[in-house]
Structure 1
Amino acid sequence: MSFKIAIIGAGSVGFTKKLFTDILCVPEFKDIEFALTDISEHNLGMIKAILDRIVEANKLPTRVTATTDRRKALEGARYVISCVRVGGLEAYADDIRIPLKYGIDQCVGDTICAGGILYGQRNIPVILDFCKDIRAVAETDAKFLNYANPMAMNTWAAIEYGKVDTVGLCHGVQHGAEQIAEVLGAKSPKELDYVCSGINHQTWFIELRLNGRPIGKDELIAAFEAHPVYSKQEKLRIDVLKRFGVYSTESNGHLSEYLPWYRKRPDEITRWIDMSDWIHGETGGYLRYSTETRNWFETEYPQFLEAASKPIDPAKRSNEHASHILEALETNRVYRGHFNVKNNGVITNLPQDAIIESPGFVDRFGINMAAGITLPEACAATCISSINVQRMSVHAAIAGDIDLLKLAVLHDPLVGAVSTPEEVWQMVDEMVVAQAAWLPQYANAVPAAKERLSKSRVKTREWAGAARRSVRSIEELRAEKAALKQAG
C-alpha cells in the first residue's frame, strides 16, 4: 500500500515517534509517506532526524518529509493527524496562573474549566484553518484524526464548522481498563471486556466482565480499596465510584477539575489528591510535567536519537487508536475501540449535537458506532453539564463573542463552585488580553477588555495553589531517574 499521512504539530516529538512506530508495525504500511508539519523548524528538525534514523535502522522504504508549510504537507494526504498545542507552554502557563488569582485550582486545565475553555478558544480558529486546507488539497474524503485537547471542542468545531470527516482519539479508556484489570487480578487486560461510554475525560465503565463473569459495584470498590497503590492515588475516583456506582476513565487529577465538589476549597483539594505523581491532582501538574519533559528532551536529545536506531518491535505497538484505525480502514481487519464522534443517537440520554466518546468498530466501511447506549442518570447529568459548557465555548470561539465566552466559563462546574460572576467576568477579560496573540477572533474585544481591567475593583490574590510543585532542573531529573533505576 502507498498513501500519505500528514501529522500537524509533529514537533510533539515523543508522541509523533509513538504514532510513527505504531503505524509501521502494520506490515502493509511500509511504503507510505509521512509528511510532518509544525510552526517550529527546530522541533521539526529534531523529530525528522529521529524518524529518519528509525527508517534507516529498519531498512524501510518509508518516506519522511518535513515542512513548516502546512498546506504543502497536506497535499494528497489520505489521513491527517493533529497533536497541536496552540500557544505552546507560554499560553498554557496563563491557563493555570490567571485562574489561580481567582481561586480556581486546576490540575491539567486542558478540557473544560477556565484553562480548557480558553485553550479551546485558541485551538478552534486553527482547527478550522486545518479543515479548510484539508478540503482544498488533501485526498477527497480524507479523514482527520484529532488527538489535541480540548478533545470535544476541537472535534465539535471540525465536524460542525470545518465540514471534514473527523474522529477524536484519546487513551483514557485504555488506561482505565488496565487499572481495573489489575485490581481484579487479571493476568492480562485482554481478560477484561467492557462497555465504556460518555464524553471525553468523563467516560464511564458501565459494564464490566472479567473472563465472561460480570463485575459489580461492590466487588470493584473492594478491589480498588485493597490495592496498595491505587487506594492512595485514586481516592477521588474511588469516592465517585462509590457514589455513582461506576468507575470513571479519567485520572484522579483530571476528574477532580470536571466536577464542582472536590477542588472548591484548598483543604478539600489536599484531602482528595495524591502527590506521588502530577496526574493524581497536583496544582498545575501537567504544566510542570510538560515543561520538564520538553527541557529533558532538549538536553538529552542525543540519547533519543541513539534509541531510534533500535529495530521496531511489533509486540510493543501501543494501544493508541490511530494505527489500529488505519489498519482496519485499509486492510479490513476489524478493530474495536472508543471514539469521539457526534452523538446522533449513539447515547440515548445525551444531547444529539454533543461529541461523545463511546464504543465503535472500524472496517473498510468506516467507523461504525454501537448505538442505543443509556448512561446511568448521575453520569448523564455530569456529562450534560460539561456538554453545555462545551457548546457555548465552541459557539463563542466561532463568533468571537466575549459575552458568550464569559457565560461558558460562568457555567463551568468548578468555576461556578469557586467564583462569583464579577470574578468570572474580570478573569475572562484578563485571560483574553493575556492571550490576545492567539485569539484573532477576539481582536475587536481586547481594547474594551483592557479598559474594563483598568477600572476593575474585583480583588485577586497571588496564590500558587493548594498543591503546587516547582519545575525540576535537569540535574534533579537525572538524580531521580538514577535513584529509580537503582531501586528497580
Structure 2
Amino acid sequence: MSVTIAIIGAGSIGFTKKLVSDILCVPELRDARIALTDINPRNLAMAEEIVRRIVEANGLPTTVVAEGDRRRALEGARYVINCTRIGGLEAYASDIQIPLKYGVDQCVGDTICAGGILYGQRNVPAILDFCRDIREVAEPGARLLNYANPMAINTWAAIDHGGVDTIGLCHGVQNGWRQIASALGVPREELDYICTGINHQTWYVDLRHNGRHIEKDELVAAFERHPVFSQQEKVRIDVLKRFGFYSTESNGHLSEYLPWYRKRPDEIGRWIDMSDWIHGETGGYLRYSTESRNWFETDFPAFLEEAGQRLDPARRTDEHASHIIEALETGRTYRGHFNVKNRGIITNLPADCIVESTGFVDRFGLNMVSDLTLPLGCAATCQASVDVQRMAVRAAVTGDVDLLKLSVLHDPLVGAICSPEEVWQMVDEMLVAQAAWLPQYADAIPAARERLSRGTVPTRQWAGAARREVRSVEEVREATAARRTMGALGQRPGA
C-alpha cells in the first residue's frame, strides 16, 4: 500500500513544489498519495496544478488530492508536513511595524524578539488543532515534520501539548555549511562538521577538511578575506571572533537574537549589508515575502512551465523532509540536523527545551547523537532564548497575558531597548492588532484595548534604521532578469 504524505499550508507554492519534487525523486515514493491542504482556495488550486504537472510530465503513478477540509486531507497520512504561516502577511506586518514604534528594529521577526514571540502565539493554537486531527484521523504513529517558524516554539508545543511525534526541520545548517566551504575555498563534500545548539542559534562546534580540524583563526581569516562574505556577514564574523564558533544563521537573523547589534539605530548600519534583505535590512523578510507573493501571482505560468520539466534526482535538494521519509521507508540511513526535545542531547541546556543537533534516521526511527556539550558562551546565548521560548509556549497554551509580557521582556534585543512599561504597552497593542488569530486571548483582548486607550508610553512612527520600499512587480521582473543575465555571464550581483 502506498504511503500518504499530507502537506498543510500547501499554498506556499514554491516550497511545496520543491518538497514534492524531492519526494518524487525517490523511486520507492513515486506511488505515494500526496494530499495538499490550505485555507486559501486559490493558492491550493495553483499548488495542485503544479504538483499534477510534475506527476504528469514524469509519467508517475502518484496520486494527488487537494482538500480545503484539513481533516479529510490528513486521513490515513503517515507523514504530515507543516508549511503554514498563521495570519499571513497581514499579521506578520504588525510583528514588524508595531515593535518599530517602540524602537525595536527587526530584520525577520519570526523566531524570538517581539515579532517571533507573537508569531508563536498565533501558531500554537493552530499547531494543537493540527495535532488533534493527526491523532484522530491520520495513520497511527504518524509523524509531523514541521517547517513552520518559530521552529522551537511550534515543535515544543506539538510534542508537549499536541501529543504527536514531531521533528522540526530547518535548512540553516546546510546553508551555513555551503558558505563555510565557499569561504575556505574547498569542495563541500570534503568539509565535515558537527553542528549543535537551538534552531537559528546552532553552532559549528567541529569543522574538518578531509579530516583536518579547522581552527578558529583559519576560519576568521577565510571570511575576512572573502570579497562578499566580509561585507555581508559582519555580525556573524564578529560573533565568530568573540565566541570562537560560527553560527548557522544569516547576518540579519543573528543580529536580532542578540542584545548587542541592533539596539542603537545609529549603529545598525555598521553591522548590516543592504545588498540583500537577509543581511539585516529592517523588515527585510516582510518586504521579500510581499514581493515574492506579488511576483508569483503574476508569473504563475512560468512556474507551471518549470513544473513540466523532467525530474532529475541529481538536483534533489538537501531539504530534510524527503530524506527523512526515504530513510524511514527504505532503511537507507540519513544524517542530518533535527529539532527535537533535548533529553540529554546537549548536556548544558535544559532537558525540556527544543534543540537542533546531529542525528541519524533509518527504519528504526530518529537516533540523535547525545552527550554533546556546548562551549559556555554559545550555551549562554542559547539559554537566554530557551527561557524566552519556554514562557512563550506556556503563555500560548494557557492564554496568560502576564507570562506573555514576561517572555517579551526577557527577550535579549527587546530587553536591551525597551523599559518594562514600554513592553507592557507594546504587547497590548500587538494583542489587539492580532486578535483575529489569537483565540486563547479572546477574553483578555477587551482589557488590553482598554489599557491601550489609557496608555501613557509615547511611541513614534519609525520606518527603522535600514528600510526599503516594497518593489513593484515590474521592478522585481527587471531585477530577476538582471540576475539571470549576470548568472549566465558568471558574475555576482554587485560585483
One fold, TM greater than 0.5?
Answer: yes
| Equivalent-residue separation in structure 2 for 1:350 and 1:126 (angstroms) | 28
Deviation sequence 1:170-227 (CA, Å, 0-9, x none): 000000000111111112x111110000000000000000111100000000000011
Partner residue, 1:309: 308
The amino acid of 1:348's aligned partner reads: T
Partner residue, 1:262: 261
| Residues 186-265 of structure 1 mapped to structure 2, 5 A cutoff | 186-187=186-187, 189-265=188-264
| Equivalent-residue separation in structure 1 for 2:379 and 2:351 (angstroms) | 13
Matched, 1:117 2:117: yes
| Equivalent-residue separation in structure 1 for 2:137 and 2:122 (angstroms) | 24
Partner residue, 1:68: 68
Partner residue, 1:31: 31
Partner residue, 1:22: 22
| Equivalent-residue separation in structure 1 for 2:480 and 2:398 (angstroms) | 47
| Equivalent-residue separation in structure 2 for 1:361 and 1:486 (angstroms) | 40
Matched, 1:359 2:358: yes
Partner SS state of residue 257, structure 2: coil
Deviation sequence 1:213-255 (CA, Å, 0-9, x none): 1000000000000111000000110000000000000000000
| Equivalent-residue separation in structure 1 for 2:45 and 2:481 (angstroms) | 29
Partner residue, 1:5: 5
Deviation sequence 1:462-487 (CA, Å, 0-9, x none): 00000000000011111112222333
Deviation sequence 1:118-168 (CA, Å, 0-9, x none): 000000000000000000010000000000000000000000000100000
| Equivalent-residue separation in structure 2 for 1:197 and 1:87 (angstroms) | 31
Deviation sequence 1:344-393 (CA, Å, 0-9, x none): 00000000000000000000000000000000000000000000000000
Partner residue, 1:459: 458
Partner residue, 1:295: 294
| Equivalent-residue separation in structure 1 for 2:383 and 2:198 (angstroms) | 9
| Equivalent-residue separation in structure 1 for 2:397 and 2:297 (angstroms) | 36
Partner SS state of residue 204, structure 1: strand
| Equivalent-residue separation in structure 2 for 1:39 and 1:243 (angstroms) | 46
Partner residue, 1:85: 85
Partner residue, 1:327: 326
How far does residue 439 in structure 1 lie from its aligned partner after superposition?
Answer: 0.1
Partner residue, 1:440: 439
The amino acid of 1:329's aligned partner reads: L
The amino acid of 1:438's aligned partner reads: W
Partner residue, 2:419: 420
| Equivalent-residue separation in structure 1 for 2:457 and 2:41 (angstroms) | 42
The amino acid of 1:194's aligned partner reads: Y
| Equivalent-residue separation in structure 2 for 1:418 and 1:442 (angstroms) | 26
How far does residue 306 in structure 1 lie from its aligned partner after superposition?
Answer: 1.1
| Residues 32-47 of structure 1 mapped to structure 2, 5 A cutoff | 32-47=32-47
| Equivalent-residue separation in structure 2 for 1:52 and 1:8 (angstroms) | 17
Partner residue, 1:346: 345
The amino acid of 2:16's aligned partner reads: T
The amino acid of 1:192's aligned partner reads: L
Partner SS state of residue 248, structure 1: coil
How far does residue 92 in structure 1 lie from its aligned partner after superposition?
Answer: 0.2
| Equivalent-residue separation in structure 2 for 1:481 and 1:260 (angstroms) | 35
The amino acid of 2:160's aligned partner reads: E
The amino acid of 1:11's aligned partner reads: G
Deviation sequence 1:240-276 (CA, Å, 0-9, x none): 0000000000000000000000000112211000000
Partner SS state of residue 193, structure 2: strand
Q: CA RMSD in A?
A: 0.6
| Residues 278-289 of structure 1 mapped to structure 2, 5 A cutoff | 278-289=277-288
The amino acid of 1:30's aligned partner reads: R
The amino acid of 2:184's aligned partner reads: L
Partner residue, 2:493: none
Partner SS state of residue 274, structure 2: coil
Deviation sequence 1:381-424 (CA, Å, 0-9, x none): 00000000000000000000111000000000000000000000
The amino acid of 1:164's aligned partner reads: V
| Equivalent-residue separation in structure 2 for 1:244 and 1:267 (angstroms) | 25
| Equivalent-residue separation in structure 2 for 1:255 and 1:307 (angstroms) | 34
Partner residue, 1:395: 394
Partner SS state of residue 107, structure 1: coil
Please report the TM-score for the alignment, with normalisation by the length of structure 2: 0.98
| Equivalent-residue separation in structure 1 for 2:381 and 2:485 (angstroms) | 44
Matched, 1:380 2:379: yes
Partner residue, 2:270: 271
| Equivalent-residue separation in structure 2 for 1:429 and 1:183 (angstroms) | 45
How far does residue 98 in structure 1 lie from its aligned partner after superposition?
Answer: 0.2
Partner residue, 1:176: 176
How far does residue 307 in structure 1 lie from its aligned partner after superposition?
Answer: 1.1
| Equivalent-residue separation in structure 2 for 1:167 and 1:486 (angstroms) | 39
Partner SS state of residue 297, structure 1: helix
| Equivalent-residue separation in structure 1 for 2:14 and 2:135 (angstroms) | 28
| Residues 138-149 of structure 1 mapped to structure 2, 5 A cutoff | 138-149=138-149
| Equivalent-residue separation in structure 1 for 2:485 and 2:18 (angstroms) | 27
Gaps of 5+ in 2: 490-495
| Equivalent-residue separation in structure 2 for 1:378 and 1:243 (angstroms) | 9
| Equivalent-residue separation in structure 2 for 1:322 and 1:483 (angstroms) | 32
| Equivalent-residue separation in structure 1 for 2:263 and 2:241 (angstroms) | 20
| Equivalent-residue separation in structure 1 for 2:484 and 2:37 (angstroms) | 36
| Equivalent-residue separation in structure 2 for 1:25 and 1:392 (angstroms) | 41
| Equivalent-residue separation in structure 2 for 1:258 and 1:301 (angstroms) | 35
Identity between Structure 1 and Structure 2 (%)? 74
Partner residue, 2:57: 57
The amino acid of 1:302's aligned partner reads: P
| Equivalent-residue separation in structure 2 for 1:48 and 1:318 (angstroms) | 21
Please report the TM-score for the alignment, with normalisation by the length of structure 1: 0.99
| Equivalent-residue separation in structure 2 for 1:483 and 1:314 (angstroms) | 29
Partner SS state of residue 443, structure 2: helix
How far does residue 308 in structure 1 lie from its aligned partner after superposition?
Answer: 1.0
| Equivalent-residue separation in structure 1 for 2:483 and 2:64 (angstroms) | 36
| Equivalent-residue separation in structure 1 for 2:185 and 2:125 (angstroms) | 46
| Equivalent-residue separation in structure 2 for 1:483 and 1:394 (angstroms) | 44
| Equivalent-residue separation in structure 1 for 2:455 and 2:176 (angstroms) | 44
The amino acid of 2:96's aligned partner reads: I
| Equivalent-residue separation in structure 1 for 2:213 and 2:94 (angstroms) | 45
